[in-house]
Structure 1
């Protein structure tokens, strides 16, 4: 596996309009995911699949060139030689245009196959005036193929919406554990400084030996906490690195040279307003990719239903062809209404059990899909409201707990002043520091949860991509 330092990738960072700094933002992550992630590339293939499906369906309307030669020779005699070829052109309206040439000869040729020695040209049409007049299988398949080509765009949007949110969740987890890790790195440094100061005071005879032991135990505990968060940070870094790719399917890895935004920038983000929520809920049925997929399914089923209804009609095909003998005369001008061939093809199943069963199955499938559509819309609406409530509640908790952290910080400052005046103890200083450290770590957790819930709201309405 190739490991590259993201910071050195000047082109992608410049494409985002950002300087090559050690700060790695959510926008930069999404840029990499959108441009290079294998799932993102797979989403682009969906669009090509839709185009290929339409192209395949259009093939049913391609002109069809055909020829058939049937000969029999026996005992040096030509029993018959039948040659028939031509061109068939299907049209969107169900009419099939035909142009054929027939040349037959032989001693024992069937009388109905006799044509002039130079052959016989035939030009005409085949028109369905019963089943297939308004829609047939070819037209239905093409309509459904076009719907599929449109639906793959919604499928791509759904795929990318899920991918973005998955990446964003891992990003904020990485942001959170990095900040918490830094808090415990700082706490170890404070404990080490205090231990050295207490040890020096002991050597000077100002502190008892028990104080050095207490300071050392606090240092050990904080080192344990730091190591624990260091492991969590390393795990979160590896998890987020799975979303980072570069050209030629090159996997990337977050290195120690990259850092998330500082805590002050994270605090500037506001929750989604209630007015925006109402807009999201109003537009949810029309804009969410999963609801779009349901609409495409139902529209495709309506096309199928029309085809099944058409199957209840009798098959009545009218065939008419003008005939002309090849000669020096212009072919078109040589055509005459006096020379023609026509016929009617009729067919109708007496009980229509297969056709009625197919129609009923399609109607039942549509009903099930409509029920699923209603259920999915309700689920999405509730999910949107849930994420909205979470981010509002978490924003209030962040504001409240920011005050708690500030109060803990003032308590620690006051306790230090008392300690310097000889009115407090090392135990109380450590206790105040521990409370402040835990409060700061909790505030980071709340900030991470708030930003995850806020982005979760955009994911729930299908608007991350």
Structure 2
């Protein structure tokens, strides 16, 4: 897809148009984030994370699926059937550690082991297996499902953390793009003013009103500002390319920002309200539960706690009880001989004498939990301090923005007065250029501060984990 088509795709979705100074559509921050959420490859990876979590739960639930089984073993030698053993049935595991089982045995043969002998019509059985010791409260199957559920929940937090980071990187680049564009416009206007003044001074010199040295000074001023304009133009072009990295469309199609779109002008930028201290405090208080990084730690601790319970269960002795009722089928009635006198049962018991492996594994599981808890507390402190840092920067920058906006107005008035004095011969070209340079510097500073202010405003939401909702 060529550049023109990609630009048309981008323009077709833009809906906000500038009013006043330029008719080109403004590319807004909200539009940028819309593209990222719907088409950016990292955003698609985040969605895959959630799907992986759902698949892990589905796989773990498979441990509780009913299972059909069948075993057949036969030996034939010298025209004799030594034995033919068939065992088939159905196992149904449950969440509570019980396993129900039903099946059918059909065995025959000259040399069949006596314990395998069954009636000629076969033997039906049905019963239950239960763990009364190790595995009564948790086993590998239940632990796997619990951990899968925790993992599925953690993938949502991981996706949120991923998008929170991506959004903030994109917002920072967006405001660098806005800053570069407005800085370039300042120098573009300054070049236009310098060229106009140079022509006026040159004409005045030809009429004998200005000395030749003034034309030279005016020409040098034009050249210096043209150099500055070229530098800012290059910065704007590179910032545009950097921002284009975040723009994608359907079928993994990269988009490009061309001259058909523009950032908002300085006077069009609306500053967000300053975050109040009460709001900040609410954000900080919510960090332990609301921040995706903290949620990931909580899910990690939950998974480790499941592992610890499983290790603790290994300390218990194995005590498994099996019971099956037996019935000889007669015709279609396989429950013909159901009786409390026809049964098969067994018990299994085992316990390591020293339990060194089990106790060692349990202690290791506890150490992992403690280590993760230490990391969680450190991460919480870092997040809270980062939120406070962005808040302090946010408040300070708002004050600086107000000061410099007022300063730009004052520099403009000072320059206008100096121009009037110059036109009536009471000032010099040097002073006019000096006043104009001061105004340019103030405007550039104000633009940079507005960009930093908007980044710091997003930074509070980013640090508190609220940027991606």
Contact 1:7 1:258 (C-alpha < 8 Å) held by counterparts: no
Q: 1:103 aligns with which of 100, 103, 106?
A: 106
Q: 1:140 aligns with which of 125, 140, 143?
A: 143
Offset at residue 271 of structure 1 (A): 1.7
- Check if 1:216 corresponds to 2:219: yes
Which digits, 9 at most, give the CA deviation of each residue in 1:95-136, with x for residues without a partner? 111111111111111111111111111111111111001110
**Residue 347 of structure 2 corresponds to which residue in structure 1?**
344
TM-score by length of 1: 0.97
- Check if 1:41 corresponds to 2:82: no
**Residue 14 of structure 2 corresponds to which residue in structure 1?**
13
Structure 2's unaligned 5+ residue stretches are: none
Aligned length: 464
TM-score by length of 2: 0.96
- Check if 1:390 corresponds to 2:393: yes
Contact 1:32 1:245 (C-alpha < 8 Å) held by counterparts: yes
Relative to structure 1, the CA distance from residue 18 to residue 192 in structure 2 (aligned partners, 3 Å threshold; closer, same or farther) is closer
Distance in 1 between residues matched to 2:147 and 2:135, nearest whole Å: 17
Distance in 2 between residues matched to 1:420 and 1:17, nearest whole Å: 40
- Check if 1:270 corresponds to 2:273: yes
Matches within 5 A, 1:55-454: 55-328=58-331, 330-332=333-335, 334-454=337-457
Offset at residue 231 of structure 1 (A): 0.4
Distance in 2 between residues matched to 1:254 and 1:436, nearest whole Å: 30
Relative to structure 1, the CA distance from residue 113 to residue 378 in structure 2 (aligned partners, 3 Å threshold; closer, same or farther) is same
Structure 1's unaligned 5+ residue stretches are: none
Which digits, 9 at most, give the CA deviation of each residue in 1:212-261, with x for residues without a partner? 11111000000000000000000000000000011111101111111112
Relative to structure 1, the CA distance from residue 8 to residue 358 in structure 2 (aligned partners, 3 Å threshold; closer, same or farther) is closer
Contact 1:123 1:322 (C-alpha < 8 Å) held by counterparts: yes
Contact 1:5 1:254 (C-alpha < 8 Å) held by counterparts: no
1:234 aligned counterpart, secondary structure: helix
- Check if 1:31 corresponds to 2:38: no
Contact 1:7 1:21 (C-alpha < 8 Å) held by counterparts: no
Contact 2:301 2:372 (C-alpha < 8 Å) held by counterparts: yes
Distance in 2 between residues matched to 1:198 and 1:17, nearest whole Å: 40
Distance in 2 between residues matched to 1:240 and 1:131, nearest whole Å: 58
- Root-mean-square deviation (Å): 1.7
Offset at residue 17 of structure 1 (A): 11
Contact 2:18 2:26 (C-alpha < 8 Å) held by counterparts: no
2:104 aligned counterpart, secondary structure: strand
Distance in 2 between residues matched to 1:74 and 1:7, nearest whole Å: 81
Distance in 1 between residues matched to 2:256 and 2:29, nearest whole Å: 16
2:353 aligned counterpart, secondary structure: coil
Contact 2:14 2:27 (C-alpha < 8 Å) held by counterparts: no
2:14 aligned counterpart, secondary structure: helix
